Amino acid sequence: MSVSVVICAYTLNRWDQLVKAVDSVRVQEPAHETILVIDHNDALYERSLARWPEITVVQNAGPQGLSAGRNTALEIATGAVVAFLDDDAVADPGWLETLVAPFADDSVVAVGGSAVPIWPGEAPAVLPDELLWIVGCSYRGLPVEPGPIRNVMGCSMAFRRDPLIAVGGFNPDTGRVGALPIGCEETEVCIRLSHADASRVVLYAPSARVRHHVSADRVRMSYVIHRSWCEGLSKAAISRTVGQRDALAAESTYATRVLPAGVWREIRRGRRGLLAAAAIVLSVGAAAAGYARGRVATVRVGPPRAPLAERVPT
């Protein structure tokens, strides 16, 4: 099975992390092509071209943002399976092989891996395990064993290329733009893939692991609240395109079982756990407020603007 690996980058500030990300991909098996998409940054594009002449380096051909960058890669990828790694993540040995192995089953349309944080210092109290999704990492509440899930996580995921193109790729209206943490494009596209064919399966492969850098500005309570607010806005947006039931199916169990258990655990720790418990409560409140604001917003987020061009993989 032919495989393409895609990394999208937008800033020179992450250059050292990008180098580690690309280097971690180049040594992966099976054999694959590597595509680096630069999001509207000429200096980063020129520097990347000079640094990696042996891989495919292209500029985002669409509007600024992560979704359009991923779609740019989809249009030129030659692999039947396309894997994605964040520019600030490092793939563990065996990551790609483990991530693509489930595609031997024809019903599997997407596979998601796990991610563990690389903290800038000590693990912060404001990010207990239940809130690690805020920094793009696997969190308490995800399955601990391989199996079906609703959606994959963006920093470590793979899709069959043709079905992904057939549903229009990633929605540029819901993806992250630069450092603005509006997302859920992976959630939306996984739901759309399932809507197009109910027999399709999205799998979680936790042993396909990456290590995800967390910057110092993301270990503060202010970021927890802001990121949670944006998550609520994002969920409200995709609920318009895929329906509220599907958009919030996983979140209902998380909010009613996982988070209350986390709050109670932290409170029982005494003073040491009060900050973590407060972070969970504030995150829930901010996400709910963001969702409510998004539901009454006058700007509607629609489906992808146009289908991606069809192209037969070579």
Confidence class for position 250, pLDDT limits 50, 70, 90:
confident
- Give the pLDDT score at 308: 58
Whether 304 is in a domain gets the answer no
Whether 301 is in a domain gets the answer no
Query: With 80 as the cut, is the pLDDT of residue 171 above it?
Result: yes
Residue 70 to residue 285: CA distance in whole angstroms: 32
- Give the pLDDT score at 244: 74
Whether 306 is in a domain gets the answer no
Question: CB atoms < 10 A from the CB of 197, how many?
Answer: 12
- Give the pLDDT score at 182: 63
Sign of CA dihedral 38, 10, 137, 55: positive
Whether 169 is in a domain gets the answer yes
Q: For residue 175, give both structure tokens.
A: 């993806």
Give pairs for 57-66: CB < 8 Å, separation 24+: 60/8, 62/172, 63/172, 64/39, 64/40, 64/177, 64/178, 65/39, 65/172, 65/175, 65/176, 65/177, 65/178, 66/8, 66/10, 66/39, 66/154, 66/170, 66/175, 66/176, 66/177, 66/183, 66/185
The parent domain of residue 110 ranges over 3-295
DSSP β-ladder status, 81-86 and 3-9: parallel
Please tell me the total count of domains within the chain: 1
Does the pTM surpass 0.85? The reply is yes
The residue among 15, 11, 17 whose CA lies nearest residue 214 is: 17
pLDDT in tens, 51-82: 999 999 999 999 999 999 999 999 999 999 99
pLDDT in tens, 271-291: 889 999 999 999 999 999 998
Q: What is the 3-state secondary structure (H, E, C) of the chain?
A: CCEEEEEEECCHHHHHHHHHHHHHHHCCCCCCEEEEEECCCHHHHHHHHHHCCCCEEEECCCCCCHHHHHHHHHHHCCCCEEEEEECCEEECCCHHHHHHHHHHCCCEEEEEEEEEEECCCCCCCCCCHHHHHHHCCCCECECCCCEECCCCECCEEEEEHHHHHHCCCCCCCCCCECCECCCCHHHHHHHHHHHHCCCCEEEEEEEEEEEEECCHHHCCHHHHHHHHHHHHHHHHHHHHHHCHHHHCHHHHHHHHHHHHHHHHHHHHCCHHHHHHHHHHHHHHHHHHHHHHHHHCCCCCCCCCCCCCCCCCCC
Whether 308 is in a domain gets the answer no
The residue among 198, 200, 123 whose CA lies nearest residue 162 is: 200
Query: With 80 as the cut, is the pLDDT of residue 175 above it?
Result: no
The residue among 200, 166, 171 whose CA lies nearest residue 184 is: 171
CATH code assigned at 273: 3.90.550.10
Q: Percent of the chain having pLDDT more than 90?
A: 77
Which residues lie closer than 8 Å to 309 by C-beta, 6 or more apart?
75, 165
Segment 260-279 shows an average pLDDT of: 94
- Contact criterion met (CB below 8 Å) for 17 and 87: yes
